[in-house]
């Protein structure tokens, strides 16, 4: 299992709505993520809009491919794209893993 961490940015003025939408992620989106191999998936948001994502999976590129092939992901990304700044394309297309430099274990 590999650990993946990525960073994106949202408009901080939209943080409250962004958090509300993630408090009610569509059940079919949750199922699609699980079926595509995303485990231990978390998002962390800083007051300035910096968004850190973390997940564990076997193959991150494959997980992204599997999600991109689902209709629910296309709808979710379209509904969430308004929150992000500095991205071309859908939010999930901007997920670039950060290099892990230390892990305690």
Judge whether 76 and 26 are in contact, CB under 8 Å: yes
> Which are the contacts of 23, defined by CB distance < 8 A and separation ≥ 6?
none
Active site residue 103: no
How far is residue 73's CA from residue 76's CA, in Å, rounded to a whole number?
A: 5
Catalytic residue among 2, 19, 22, 75: 22
**Catalytic positions, written as ranges:** 22
């Amino acid at each position: 299992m590999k650990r993946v961490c990525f960073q994106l940015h949202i408009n901080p003025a939209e943080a409250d709505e962004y958090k509300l939408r993630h408090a009610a992620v569509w059940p079919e989106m949750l199922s699609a993520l699980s079926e595509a191999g995303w485990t231990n998936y978390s998002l962390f948001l800083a007051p300035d809009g910096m968004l850190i994502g973390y997940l564990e999976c076997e193959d991150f590129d494959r997980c992204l491919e599997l999600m991109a092939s689902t209709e629910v992901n296309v709808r979710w990304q379209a509904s969430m794209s308004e929150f992000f700044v500095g991205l071309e394309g859908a939010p999930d297309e901007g997920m670039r893993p950060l290099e892990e430099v230390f892990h305690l274990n």
